[in-house]
Amino acid sequence: MKFGLILVPQVRNGEPEPFGELIEQIEFAEELGYESVWLTEHHFSEYGRAAVSALAGHAAARTSRIRISTAVVVLPFHHPIRVAEDWATLDHLSGGRVDVGIGRGSQPAEFAGFDVSMDEARERYQESLNIIKKAWTEESFSYDGQFWKIPEVEVLPKPIQKPHPPLWCAAVSPYTVKMTVDNGINGLIGPYLTPFEMLKRDYFDVWHQATADAGRQDLQMCHNEFVYVGESDEEVKRDVEEYVMWYVRKAAKIWGQRDRSKVSAQSANYNDILEFFDTVKFDEVYNDLAILGTPDTVTEKLRWLRDEGGCDYVMNFMWFGGISHEKAMRNMELFAKEVMPRLEADRATEAAATSTT
């Protein structure tokens, strides 16, 4: 399995901006052997920070091997030419180490802040994606769309990676999973805090069927999960309960419009999730909805995702809800030293068994 690290800085109670700690975690992730880091874009609240291209540039300058990624650039909030220019430039600065995660957004306050209608999010996303691909792969192009009118232009620089940096789309509904495959891009598939059987049925199986039907088994799937490793269940519960539940309750407030009569049809699938987040208890999160516990427990849950769900790339959410930087760093280290080697050993055992048959 491959493991990345998703970073969603949450700045509670007027605490200092954690950008230095974020970069330190990225450097440590590279040292520990993580595949990638994924930076998230959020606006106008203590939940997350916005300037992912600036953070990605700093991260690229401070590292040499780890892939620098986004989860995600919210395309309806940006001019697509600027997205193409920024990430092509970052591709050069990183020596070809960037992946570009994209999405259409979900938070009503963010759409209101940018004066963009949520009812247009899907269409704006698709137009922007079409333009970005053209900007990266065509010597020059023009575009006459519903939202963007672009005269004949040559967008420079072109990316190092050909035909362009790997693209990933966030997909938290079966419809979006299929749309991602139709667009021929990799998938950040399924929401976290979801029972594993539901993830498999409603997201992973849909992805695998869609890629098989399209003949696109070359496309990659990654899934993100709350992950925390400790020496005992008692230690882990003590460390994380406050922070997990702050995050869950905060998400219930800001991820969507709670008045169903005002909900955009494009984001109606969020309402059941948000109402669930209002009432879910910590024990349910701990036992059934996240990857929290001892190295044995965490390893077994990941084996299930890999062997039953067909998911071999996981994005670990390890610094959540304002948990301390020190605990996040220890979590990263324990996972890398106590869990990753066991999963690597599985692969070696499987390879040895295959070679003798």
Task: Indicate the domain borders of the chain.
Answer: 2-355
Query: In which band, very low, low, confident or very high, does the pLDDT at 267 lie, cut at 50, 70 and 90?
Result: low
pLDDT over threshold 80, residue 90: yes
- The angle, 0 to 180 degrees and rounded to 10, between the axes of the packed helices 80-93 and 121-137 is 50
Q: pTM score, two decimals?
A: 0.93
Nearest-CA neighbor of 297 among 248, 355, 232?
Answer: 232
Q: Which helix (H) or strand (E) holds 260?
A: none
Nearest-CA neighbor of 138 among 184, 84, 187, 90?
Answer: 84
Q: Answer yes or no: are the C-beta atoms of 81 and 110 closer than 8 Å.
A: no
Single-letter amino acid code for the residue at 11: V
Lowest-confidence pick of 118-132, 166-180, 202-216, 268-282: 268-282
Residue count (the chain): 357
Q: Answer yes or no: are the C-beta atoms of 317 and 207 closer than 8 Å.
A: no
- Percent of the chain surpassing pLDDT 90: 83
Q: What is the pLDDT of residues 215-227, one digit of tens each?
A: 999 999 999 999 9
Beta strand spans in 214-278 (E):
221-229
Nearest-CA neighbor of 162 among 193, 133, 120?
Answer: 133
Q: What is the pLDDT of residues 3-23, one digit of tens each?
A: 999 999 989 888 999 999 999
Secondary structure letter of residue 119 according to DSSP: G
Q: Which helix (H) or strand (E) holds 252?
A: helix 233-254
Taking residues 273-281, report their average pLDDT: 85
Secondary structure letter of residue 159 according to DSSP: P
CATH of domain 2-355: 3.20.20.30
Q: Answer yes or no: are the C-beta atoms of 193 and 289 closer than 8 Å.
A: yes
Q: Answer yes or no: are the C-beta atoms of 223 and 172 closer than 8 Å.
A: no
Interstrand relation of 149-153 and 167-171 (parallel, antiparallel or unpaired): unpaired
Nearest-CA neighbor of 267 among 108, 40, 124?
Answer: 108
